[in-house]
Structure 1
Amino acid sequence: MESQFSRPEFNYVLAALLQEDCYPLAQQLELVRLRAGQMLSEMGQRIHHVHFPTTAVVSMLAVSESGAAIEVAVAGKEGLIGMPVLTGGDSMPYRVEVRCTGLAYRITATAMRDAFMQSAAIRSASLLYVQALLTQVAQVAVCNRHHSLHDQVCRWLLLTLERMHSRELLITQQGIADRLGVRREGVAAAIGRMQDLGLLLTSRGRIALLDRPRLEAMGCECYRVIMREYARLLPPPAGHAAAFAAAAGPRPCHADHGVPLRSCV
């Protein structure tokens, strides 16, 4: 399956806008670097910014009263973080944590709410993403309940690497287990099997993908269902990405330059 997110330097919700639509929004965006492990929002916390990842990958985690957490969705360059701002809310219903270090555009919640109300194009692009995100949440729930841990690990790896536009991931087996809400031993067994089949190459804290087509083929349908919905609702508008970049112009990047872009937790 060929990746539709082929331009990692852009966010596809923003790139879906025509130049006349994106110009007012672009002037209020700032480019920031998000670090792996950084908490963007705790459950119930007021939303101050909406983020549009470009190379960063962000996890949305449901948290129980006991403190146990499980990943219910992930967002990268195909989406945005801060969905309640678009639906009339002002706080996060889940924990939002940066999974993989990278860049994102951000805008204040107030400015995003105003742009959403004033521009039909911004409303359309944002709500199409909301629809795709709901598909992802539902499909992840199906996968976690009905599919094997091996299938869940396949789906998790494919979705993460898709958003990173990379074949290599810096993460521990415990980190994957924490996201899936399972024991590390089960993840280790699944990854060990994939390595034995020549699909992955692993070393301490590092996973390299060797054979993507075979990994997709041996996993469940969930990755394909999720990606097909994103491709249907938010196809990459190649002609508009450059227009958005031109409208945004050179923006300051508030970054920790010592953090490698591919580090993940």
Structure 2
Amino acid sequence: MALLQQSAVRNRLLATLAPEEFGRLAPALEPVPLPLQAVLIVPHQPIAQAHFVEDGLVSLVADSRAGRIAVGLTGREGFVGVPLALGAASTPHTAIVQARGAALRIPAGTLREALDASAGLRRVLGGYVQSLIVHVGQTVYANADLTVEARLARWILMSHDRLEQDELPLTHEVLSKMLGVRRPTVTTATHILEGAGMIRAQRGRITVIDRAKLEDLAGVVYGDAGAG
């Protein structure tokens, strides 16, 4: 199999690496599909691989007595398996594909070895870890302080950033899991956003019509939570 070329990758972290740092990872990077609802990380289990997302969306989901709620979102700006970059072997969170796509997968041990050997790789992945920490913190604040409509606007914006297309493959079921609310609540919030001319909702699709209005509704909590 031909060695993966850095110029061909869509993942922004891999594209940012110096050529020698990318070359350290390239032999171990395996292209894999990301099927809808595939679980990439099981909570409290050893993380076997990291996934550098090329296309699609992966949610970081927290479980509680009240149910599941998404606390983070990863697209091609990042990678799934952040605990590995922090020296941890597992996480209490689930990583689940919310919009199908593709990724470059690498064994956890290989990534750890590369991190040990490369300050440049540590710096690039560390920058993403910092942005994810901010993103999760903003999500916690949004869940505590914003209306469902504002939270929905925020998730739509973040999905829009990462998929880079106006038509988003977001079903009410997916949005209910992201927001941690029941589907009828998502339906009501979607109708409100649609009535305000922000989006158009179709079966299994949300189309962004007026991004500026979505940003106004989501407010400052959206700001630092974008894809960067």
Kept after mapping to 2: 8 A contact 1:58/1:96: yes
Matched, 1:97 2:88: no
Q: Which residue of 1 aligns with 2:74?
A: 75
SS at match of 1:101: strand
The Cα shift of 1:9 comes to 5.6
Q: Which residue of 2 aligns with 1:45?
A: 45
1:199-214 to structure 2, matched below 5 A, reads 199-214=198-213
Kept after mapping to 2: 8 A contact 1:147/1:220: no
User: How many angstroms apart in 1 are the aligned matches of 2:38 and 2:169?
Assistant: 16
Q: Which residue of 2 aligns with 1:62?
A: 62
Q: Which residue of 2 aligns with 1:135?
A: 134
Higher strand proportion: 2
- TM-score where L is the length of structure 2: 0.91
Kept after mapping to 2: 8 A contact 1:47/1:91: yes
User: How many angstroms apart in 2 are the aligned matches of 1:67 and 1:139?
Assistant: 20
Q: Which residue of 2 aligns with 1:33?
A: 33
The Cα shift of 1:63 comes to 1.1
Amino acid in the other structure paired with 2:204: G
User: How many angstroms apart in 2 are the aligned matches of 1:195 and 1:79?
Assistant: 30
User: How many angstroms apart in 2 are the aligned matches of 1:88 and 1:41?
Assistant: 16
The Cα shift of 1:67 comes to 7.8
Q: Which residue of 2 aligns with 1:159?
A: 158
Kept after mapping to 2: 8 A contact 1:49/1:108: yes
Amino acid in the other structure paired with 1:140: T
Bigger CA drift: 27-36 or 113-122? 27-36
1:171-186 to structure 2, matched below 5 A, reads 171-186=170-185
Q: Which residue of 2 aligns with 1:112?
A: 111
**Percent identical:** 33
User: How many angstroms apart in 2 are the aligned matches of 1:132 and 1:20?
Assistant: 24
Uncovered stretches (5+) of structure 2, i.e. residues with no partner: 1-7
The Cα shift of 1:61 comes to 0.6
User: How many angstroms apart in 1 are the aligned matches of 2:86 and 2:208?
Assistant: 38
Kept after mapping to 1: 8 A contact 2:154/2:214: no
User: How many angstroms apart in 2 are the aligned matches of 1:215 and 1:67?
Assistant: 28
User: How many angstroms apart in 2 are the aligned matches of 1:36 and 1:218?
Assistant: 29
User: How many angstroms apart in 2 are the aligned matches of 1:214 and 1:9?
Assistant: 33
SS at match of 2:60: strand
User: How many angstroms apart in 1 are the aligned matches of 2:144 and 2:195?
Assistant: 26
How many aligned positions are there? 222
The Cα shift of 1:108 comes to 0.3
Kept after mapping to 2: 8 A contact 1:56/1:76: yes
User: How many angstroms apart in 1 are the aligned matches of 2:66 and 2:27?
Assistant: 39
- TM-score where L is the length of structure 1: 0.79
- More relative contact order, 1 or 2 (CA 8 Å, 6+ apart): 1
* Residue-by-residue CA offset, 1:153-176 (whole Å, 9 max, x unaligned): 000111012111111122322321
* Residue-by-residue CA offset, 1:35-85 (whole Å, 9 max, x unaligned): 110111211111110110011210111112x48211010111111111111
Measured on the aligned residues, the alpha-carbon RMSD in Å equals 1.8
SS at match of 2:165: coil
User: How many angstroms apart in 1 are the aligned matches of 2:32 and 2:160?
Assistant: 21
- 4+ long deviations beyond 4 Å: none
SS at match of 2:126: helix
Kept after mapping to 1: 8 A contact 2:11/2:54: yes
Q: Which residue of 2 aligns with 1:234?
A: none
Q: Which residue of 2 aligns with 1:14?
A: 14
Q: Which residue of 1 aligns with 2:5?
A: none
Uncovered stretches (5+) of structure 1, i.e. residues with no partner: 1-7, 232-265
User: How many angstroms apart in 2 are the aligned matches of 1:31 and 1:16?
Assistant: 18
